[in-house]
Structure 1
Amino acid sequence: GLGITRAFAKAKYNVIFNGLEKDGNDTAAKVAREFQINYLFSPANALHVDQLRTMVDEGLARFKHIDVLMNNCGIQHVSPIENFPDDKWADILRINLSSAFILTKALMKPMKEKKIWSNY
């Protein structure tokens, strides 16, 4: 994710960084300084829909529009299926699948209003 984010920053996109790392904001600030862009760091946990929506709201408030959404979070747990914990499966679905849907849904209206895509 950071490599792709750096590519957008190099292309002069302002960027919303998201992560649970303790030094996430420091990393975001370093990239922003390097490429002279504006940024927002959000520690939103992809397990929590309300935190994802807050991240979108904060991003729209800061930048007025969002042009690109890169859904790039994911987790994995390895275990024989007969021993696979139900809670781990639920977390995998929420993070790897549902978070992408929630973020896409939250940004669909503002992106359509800005006419990001020529055929919409």
Structure 2
Amino acid sequence: MLKDKVAMISGSASGIGLEIAKVFLNEGAKVVFTDIDQDKLDHVVQSFQTKNFECIGIVADVSDEEDVKNLVNQTVKHYGRIDILINNAGLQHVANIEDFPTDKFKQMIDIMLVGTFIMTKYVLPIMKNQQYGRILNMSSINGLVGFSGKSAYNSAKHGIIGLTKVTALETAQDGITVNAICPGYIDTPLVRGQMEDLAKTRNVSINQVLDEVLFPLIPQKQLVDIQEVADYSVFIASDKAKSVTGQAIVIDGGYTAQ
């Protein structure tokens, strides 16, 4: 469904971003991996290039405007276009508000919300010129509901949904769709780290976090399969979803249905 489309994916050296990149490559897309970790990025890109997949890696801090300008310019220079942007870069820290370091709060907002804005800002002119584009912003169920201890993450993910809707309205007649994906709890390094933090704040084990904190909130009593998020991303990025825009798409095992 994505043959020869050029997809730029932030935070793609691991986790959800990496899984989406794998599926996009298998669908025939040309992938621009971007991440702040040079070593991880090089390893991932080389592993795909040796299998003859079409991809490149460009190091960038999405919260740094000059980094993003360079990322976009290099991509256009190499591939001539950008068809798909996936704003996925993120991080987590769990602490009650009075114990939450202000610098960490600002960093999380800068990377997840301001970074999404900056990436969108510099990719949009290219997509408008093409009269074609797909933007997927990685939000979360925590962009829809609150969760104690996650003030920065919730603030950023709620903001991403608002930004998604505004961007969708501003590009509605430019052949561009803009959507947010809101996954529930997925078994990724980020979520595992989150569970460790939750275990510490509640003085329980990780298994107890699953059984006593998370699973009571999830009707299906299971973590979301990362493959589901990647597969759904392919659909939203394809021409089969050309009328889907401005939406916060939830994949959460029923978490927000209650």
TM-score by length of 1: 0.89
Q: Do 2:24 and 2:31's aligned partners in 1 also have CA atoms closer than 8 Å?
A: yes
Q: Aligned-pair RMSD on alpha carbons?
A: 1.7
Which residue in the other structure is 2:48 paired with? 31
Which residue in the other structure is 1:96 paired with? 112
The 1-side partners of 2:42 and 2:82 are apart by: 20
Please state whether the residue corresponding to 1:40 is helix, strand or coil. strand
Q: Which one scores higher on RCO, CA 8 angstroms, separation ≥ 6?
A: 1
Pair 1:42-2:58 in alignment: yes
Pair 1:54-2:70 in alignment: yes
Please state whether the residue corresponding to 2:119 is helix, strand or coil. helix
Equivalent position amino acid for 2:115 in 1: S
Q: Do 1:17 and 1:28's aligned partners in 2 also have CA atoms closer than 8 Å?
A: yes
The 1-side partners of 2:108 and 2:72 are apart by: 21
The 2-side partners of 1:49 and 1:119 are apart by: 27
Q: Do 1:9 and 1:32's aligned partners in 2 also have CA atoms closer than 8 Å?
A: no
Against the structure 1 CA distance between its residues 23 and 74, is the aligned structure 2 distance closer, same or farther, given a 3 Å change threshold?
closer
Pair 1:16-2:16 in alignment: no
Number of residue-to-residue matches in the alignment: 119
Q: Do 2:62 and 2:119's aligned partners in 1 also have CA atoms closer than 8 Å?
A: no
Q: Which moved more, 1:7-16 or 1:36-45?
A: 36-45
Query: What are structure 2's unaligned runs of at least 5 residues?
Result: 1-16, 134-171, 175-258
Q: State the 4+ residue runs in structure 1 displaced beyond 4 angstroms.
A: none
Q: Do 2:62 and 2:118's aligned partners in 1 also have CA atoms closer than 8 Å?
A: no
1:57-111 CA-partner distances (Å, limit 9, x unpaired) = 1111111101000010111111110111111011011101011111111011110
The 2-side partners of 1:104 and 1:47 are apart by: 12
Which residue in the other structure is 2:141 paired with? none
Query: What are structure 1's unaligned runs of at least 5 residues?
Result: none
Which residue in the other structure is 1:2 paired with? 18
Equivalent position amino acid for 1:79 in 2: A
Equivalent position amino acid for 1:70 in 2: I
Correspondent of 2:88 among 72, 76, 84: 72
Structure with greater Cα Rg? 2
More strand by share: 2
Q: Do 2:33 and 2:57's aligned partners in 1 also have CA atoms closer than 8 Å?
A: yes
Structure 1 position 2, deviation (Å)? 0.6
The 1-side partners of 2:35 and 2:71 are apart by: 11
The 2-side partners of 1:102 and 1:67 are apart by: 17
1:24-83 CA-partner distances (Å, limit 9, x unpaired) = 11211222333x333221121223221122111111111110100001011111111011
